[in-house]
Amino acid sequence: MVERRQPRGVGDASPRSTQRSDAIASLNDMIAGLIDLDVKGLRLQWRNHLGGTPPAHLPRWLVSRILAYRIQAAALSGLDKETLRVLRRPKGEPADPLGRQAFATRAPTTRDGAKLSPLALSAGS
């Protein structure tokens, strides 16, 4: 006979959540440690995590932020496919591959026969 699993209560902790929270905590500690590094330490971390050397013209604060983002993206799987598609789209290309827009653009016009007077919409009418 097959045993049925008991449903988990709200207070029950799963092993996955503790492993994930431990990983996130260590990731937070790693990123917080970047703040204390000097330029040489940041270059070493860049070489260890991304390979190569960071561009020499980038200031220290930008190198640390790029490094922190790339470490987080590697650990937490980065951006989703739709966001990457939008970011990689050439400038001026519509979001829809067929060139359609959500709403058709129209030029503002008035209809024939509309009689407007300067005080038609005033509060005194």
Domain ranges of the chain: 18-88
Listed in sequence order, the residues at least 6 apart from 103 whose beta carbon sits closer than 8 Å to its beta carbon are: none
Spatial distance between the Cα atoms of 60 and 49, rounded to a whole number of angstroms: 16
Tallying the residues shown for the chain, one arrives at: 125
Q: Name the pTM for this structure.
A: 0.52
What pLDDT does residue 62 have? 92
Spatial distance between the Cα atoms of 37 and 60, rounded to a whole number of angstroms: 10
Listed in sequence order, the residues at least 6 apart from 38 whose beta carbon sits closer than 8 Å to its beta carbon are: 60
Cα of first residue to Cα of last residue in the chain, in angstroms, is 82
Q: What is the pLDDT along the chain (125 residues), one digit of tens a residue?
A: 555 555 554 444 444 556 677 878 888 888 888 888 999 999 999 999 888 888 889 999 999 999 999 988 888 888 888 888 888 888 877 666 665 666 777 777 777 766 767 776 666 55
Spatial distance between the Cα atoms of 86 and 93, rounded to a whole number of angstroms: 10
What pLDDT does residue 91 have? 81
Is the CB of residue 76 less than 8 Å from the CB of residue 23? no
Listed in sequence order, the residues at least 6 apart from 101 whose beta carbon sits closer than 8 Å to its beta carbon are: 94
